[in-house]
Amino acid sequence: MEDKKIKILIVDDDQTVRETYADIFRQEGFEVSEAEDGLDGLDKATKENPDIIFTGIIMPRMDGFALKEALAKNVNTSNVPVIMLSHMGREEDRVKAQELGVKDFIVQGMVMPKQVVERIRNIFGSVKYRIKFSTNELDASKLAQEFHFEKKFECSNCQTEMVLELEASNIDKKEFKAKFVCPKCG
Ligand SMILES: [Zn+2]
């Protein structure tokens, strides 16, 4: 089953930036539209109902912050996640973005476009990895005892050996939430 296409609106006054990301997003199967500044972006956001908005900060007529504020005031766009692309990576901009509820703040040149795609996907569905672990090494038996797992970490339903499921919680810091799951029962 194929996933529903993610509709992304790119807002930036720099055509090269727009084209670069538009190419990458299209390669990833996203549906892409573009706007040249915040005002144009606001207009397209209300008309096209994108799933996510990827915007620059400094732009003529309306900057990225004013765009985020305007989107928040409109019931039709207030829930659309906004990602900001910062060309300068100023800390005060990161703080302001966070205060405005921007989902992610990407500093150009610090985050590879492929990682940007990963972070966008992460907003829509968490990234999960299933890992097999050794049930008798290090602290595994201690953990089994203290948390009342079956001795061999077997699924109580089908007796299949459980695996660890890691869910990315912060891709930047490589942090994960972990839980035991049965590979058959889920
Ligand atoms: Zn099971």
Ligand 1 centroid from CA 157, angstroms: 5
Ligand 1 centroid from CA 76, angstroms: 42
What pLDDT shows up at residue 1? 35
Ligand 1 centroid from CA 158, angstroms: 4
> How does pLDDT run across 128-163, given as a tens digit for each residue?
889 998 888 899 888 988 888 866 788 889 989 999
- Pick from 93, 37, 95: nearest CA to 70: 37
Ligand 1 centroid from CA 177, angstroms: 21
Ligand 1 centroid from CA 46, angstroms: 46
Contact 53, 34 (CB under 8 A): no
Q: Report residues of the chain scoring pLDDT below 50.
A: 1-2
Ligand 1 centroid from CA 156, angstroms: 7
Where do the structural domains in the chain lie, given as residue ranges? 7-124, 128-181
Cβ atoms < 10 Å from Cβ of 153? 21
From CA 163, how far away is CA 151, in angstroms rounded? Answer: 14
Ligand 1 centroid from CA 162, angstroms: 8
Ligand 1 centroid from CA 129, angstroms: 17
Can you list the pairs that 94-98 forms with residues at least 24 positions away whose Cβ atoms lie under 8 Å?
A: 96/65, 97/65, 97/68
Ligand 1 centroid from CA 160, angstroms: 5
Ligand 1 centroid from CA 7, angstroms: 37
Ligand 1 centroid from CA 151, angstroms: 15
Query: 7-124: CATH homologous superfamily?
Result: Response regulator (3.40.50.2300)
Q: At what angle do helices 15-27 and 113-124 cross, to 10 degrees?
A: 60
Ligand 1 centroid from CA 90, angstroms: 49
> How does pLDDT run across 40-52, given as a tens digit for each residue?
999 999 999 999 9
